[in-house]
Amino acid sequence: MSETVPASTTKAAAARARQSALVTAEGSTTIADTVVSKIAGIAASEVAGVHALGGGGGRAMGAIRERIPGARTNHSQGVSVEVGETEAAVDLDLVADYGVSIADLAAGIRRNVISAVERMTGLHVVEVNIVVNDVHLPQDDAPVVPVETRVQ
């Protein structure tokens, strides 16, 4: 005869296994929020159909920051995280490319972010919330034509 194991027992064993990767007899490993937010930001931006991360104000500040010599790209733009001892939750704000299925895009982002964060940190990602703030249209990239002046 086979006995069934309660789901709560299985979840508890999985939680102990996850915890053992970060907390061992030799010491514990703490992962900062900024580490998780960078990993999540890079993983989200790798998905085809993501035009940019962040809301309008954040993207404007990012554009200004990138024009400063020596400044680095902020991979955490549009990403906020909560990190516990063994779990993490991720919130993303983004702009999608026009024509992309937003439901499929969100599924791809969740899959990529969860995979990257769990693989690199050992933390269990409990949720990835996505807010699509805007849709990027192809004509938004049209170059600005300089107006000729009458006087030189």
Q: What are the sequence ranges of the domains in the chain?
A: 17-134
pLDDT of residue 66: 57
**pTM to 2 decimal places:** 0.73
Those residues of the chain that have pLDDT short of 70 are: 1-20, 56-73, 141-147, 150, 152
Name the 3-class secondary structure at 134. Answer: strand
pLDDT of residue 147: 66
Name the 3-class secondary structure at 18. Answer: helix
List the Cα angle 99/63/132 in 5-degree steps.
Answer: 35
**Residue carrying structure tokens 């940019």:** 52
pLDDT of residue 72: 63
Positive or negative CA dihedral for 78, 139, 101, 42? negative
CB atoms within 10 A of CB 143: 5
pLDDT of residue 71: 61
pLDDT of residue 25: 87
pLDDT of residue 75: 77
Would you state the structure tokens that stand for residue 106, as one six-digit string?
A: 């969100």
Contacts of 102 by beta carbon, 8 Å cutoff, 6+ apart: 96, 132
